[in-house]
Amino acid sequence: MLRYALAVVAGLFLASTVTVVVADRNLDIPFPFNCSTKTVCSGLRIKLPNENEEYNAVYDDYVDGALYFNVSNKVGNNLTLLIGGLENNRFRIIIEEPDHHRYKLQYSLEKEPTNVSLTVNAISEFYVIASDKFKNKVIVHYNPLSIEFYHDDALATVLEGNRIIFQNTEEDQDFTFGVRFVGAERLIGLHEHVDDLSLRHTADYSIDPYRLRNTDFGMVKYDLNTTESMYGSVPVIYGFGANTSGIFLHNAAEMFIDIDNNRKSAYFMVNGGTLDLFVLLGPSLKETVRQYVDLTGKPHLPQLWALGYHQCR
């Protein structure tokens, strides 16, 4: 009887061990993925669109205070671009294919932000200029596509169209884009990583880009000063300086972000979904953080009776 009981216990132990190994493998344990093992990073990190692959824009329509563009390149790829104004010094950019088949993130925003109508100030064969009533302005350059965001006539943020890549096959929905923070002294954000407050320079390929994918390494490893992913993934970056601005990518897919501290720019490589970008024009760091938190919500203070009893489970 004792021998039978021991056999049952041993069998349960082996079964539970197998289960743990499978679960851990799904969490990148014991060999965490890095840029070289993920095609979204290894295939797109050093890729620069050539002249035929660069996207150009054509102004299409003005509906409900927002700007609409048709975006295409010479190899036959077609996209749509929406630029809308939001209250509290913010813009929203959505880029996707005309059939809108890409997954759109739901239930992550605390509320849909209030739209602010844009006024078209100028249209030429090279660009469109539009502004809101809060001293914010956007200039869309057509060829190649480039989008500049101003607050109080000071250039703050630029969406660099020459870094836009959209893969559109059944197996591959990756996309990329680049953002430059004009006048920034340092870049901060991309929580959570065990690293310096200021984002490190990764664009020289000496270290991996910052990876966002919720991962718990458990008792296996916790490295310091690393761009590896951790528990949480927050795709928000602040360009801190005399006039601070920021961006928040409303997308939950795995992504890698290369940081160029020489240009104060970030290059996003995203494993699918829609390019749904919020531009936060500050102009102070406090205001920029508040503009982001207003989208995703503020943490609630726990009840007094709950303090001291919670565990990390």
189-240: pLDDT as tens digits? 999 888 999 999 999 999 999 999 988 766 566 778 989 888 889 999 999 9
Of 5-14, 17-26, 101-110, give the lowest mean pLDDT range.
17-26
- Judge whether 139 lies within some domain: yes
Per-residue pLDDT, averaged over 8-28, amounts to 39
Contact 296, 279 (CB under 8 A): no
- Judge whether 31 lies within some domain: no
What is the distance between the alpha carbons of residues 198 and 241, in angstroms, rounded to a whole number? 12
Q: What is the pTM of this model?
A: 0.88
- Judge whether 27 lies within some domain: no
DSSP state of 150: E
Where residue 219 sits, what CATH number does that domain have? 2.60.40.1760
Contact 310, 304 (CB under 8 A): no
pLDDT averaged over the chain? 88
- Judge whether 281 lies within some domain: yes
Question: Considering its fold, how many domains does the chain have in total?
Answer: 1
- Judge whether 310 lies within some domain: no
pLDDT in tens, 43-70: 999 999 999 999 999 999 999 999 999 9
CA 180 vs CA 77, 158, 301: distances in Å = 24, 5, 36
Residues of the domain holding 252: 50-296
For the cut 60, the answer to whether the pLDDT of residue 284 exceeds it is: yes
- Select the more confidently predicted residue: 13 or 184: 184
What is the distance between the alpha carbons of residues 68 and 266, in angstroms, rounded to a whole number? 25
- Judge whether 33 lies within some domain: no
- Judge whether 272 lies within some domain: yes
Q: Give the N- to C-terminal CA distance of the chain in Å, as an integer.
A: 37
For the cut 60, the answer to whether the pLDDT of residue 10 exceeds it is: no
Tokens of 140: 């869309």
For the cut 70, the answer to whether the pLDDT of residue 11 exceeds it is: no
Of 7-11, 188-192, 257-261, give the lowest mean pLDDT range.
7-11
What is the distance between the alpha carbons of residues 147 and 3, in angstroms, rounded to a whole number? 73
- Judge whether 110 lies within some domain: yes
